Structure 1
Amino acid sequence: MWRKVSRAALVAAFYVAVTGVLAPISFGPVQLRLSEGLVLLPVLWPETIPGLWAGCMLANFLFGGLGPVDIFGGSAVTGLAAYLTWRLRRSVWLAGLPPVVLNGLIVGAYLSVLLDVPYLPTALSVGAGELAAVYGVGVPLVLALRPVLRTWPAR
């Protein structure tokens, strides 16, 4: 059990650290949040779902500046997307779709309201950034980790 709790906490901490280091490109109507590539980790470890949710909430609280809607809404979207990636875990390529679609539609919607910018360009921009993070970082990460996990002894 402690191994799973530790894994979730590590993912949360890594999410916060990457988001914080890359804060200038991680927030706003045009964003590339590379830490969102971690949202595919539930394909390998379902216990990372709460870690991703907590990491996103903490990152939005520490670095976001858009208040409760982003802190709670953004982390809810990331948590739901992480859960859906776990549900679609048989295909890493399909598992990447929920984060892209949900972030584009939902985060794009509340960012357009909070920042008073048009919805469609914002949704497309957030979706494109998510697409780059998920398929440029997340998929390669999961594909690289899968063979390594097969060779680890079970404990």
Structure 2
Amino acid sequence: MKSNYLARVGVIAAVYAACTLIALLFLGSLAWGPIQFRVSEALCVLALFTPAAIPGLTLGCVIANVMNIVISGTGMLGMLDVVFGSLATFAGALFTWKMRRHPLVALAGPVLANALIVPAYLPLLLQGVGFYTIPFTTISLDNSWLFMYLFGLVTTGVGEAVIMYVLGYPLARSLAKTPMFSAESAELGMHN
């Protein structure tokens, strides 16, 4: 049983990290910037089915964020994302697991965790690399952490909600029909 759990953790971590890095290559700053659509976050629905998703998603986020430091050259500032971004993923996955009997509510966990935590440090990270104007405008939010936080709260929250409910929920419904998650999905009432 323990080896099965560890295998699930490892596979989930690898898939999350790979999906995040692929998104970075093809979507650029949409996976990390002030407006985020981190497609790999749809994998947070795995926490509806297995507690192994909690450490798996967290570890995958750590790996992806460390790799982003290497790719983007953010240096030690990138450690903010490694620590606090991974904390947001952990909190969201934990909430999802705890609320799994109510899938639509459970999927709000990653939305809330990312919307509240990521914008708190993202302005520091982005300013440190010389970037922070509202995208598609020339409005600079330098030296205004509160406005940057509020902007990030909305954009990160909306982006995460789109990912969780437009991509994640259908993914969860599809996974519920597979033999791998059939017992868990019956318990959640997602087997139809």
Q: Given the two structures, how large is their TM-score scaled by the length of structure 2? A: 0.74
Distance 1:48 1:119 in 2: 28
Distance 1:52 1:150 in 2: 21
2:43 to 38, 43, 57: 38
Q: Which residue of 2 aligns with 1:123?
A: 153
Question: Which runs of structure 1 show a deviation greater than 6 angstroms over 4 or more consecutive aligned residues?
Answer: none
Q: Tell me, what secondary structure is at the counterpart of 1:45?
A: coil
- Please say if residues 53 and 78 of structure 1, whose CA atoms lie closer than 8 Å, have aligned partners that are also in contact: yes
In our comparison, the structure showing a higher alpha carbon Rg is 2
Q: CA deviation at 1:49?
A: 0.8
Distance 2:182 2:52 in 1: 18
Q: Tell me, what secondary structure is at the counterpart of 2:177?
A: helix
Q: Which residue of 1 aligns with 2:55?
A: 50
RCO (CA 8 Å, sep 6+): is it higher in 1 or 2?
Answer: 1
Percent sequence identity over aligned pairs: 37
Letter in 1 for 2:110: P
Distance 2:105 2:113 in 1: 14
Q: Which runs of 5+ in 1 are unaligned?
A: none
Q: CA deviation at 1:39?
A: 1.1
Q: CA deviation at 1:61?
A: 0.7
- Please say if residues 41 and 138 of structure 1, whose CA atoms lie closer than 8 Å, have aligned partners that are also in contact: no
- Please say if residues 115 and 157 of structure 2, whose CA atoms lie closer than 8 Å, have aligned partners that are also in contact: yes
Q: Which residue of 1 aligns with 2:182?
A: 150
Distance 1:7 1:28 in 2: 29
Q: Which residue of 1 aligns with 2:101?
A: 90
Q: Which runs of 5+ in 2 are unaligned?
A: 128-140, 142-147, 184-192
Q: Which moved more, 1:138-147 or 1:18-27?
A: 138-147
Q: Given the two structures, how large is their TM-score scaled by the length of structure 1? A: 0.91
Letter in 1 for 2:52: E
Q: Which moved more, 1:22-31 or 1:117-126?
A: 117-126
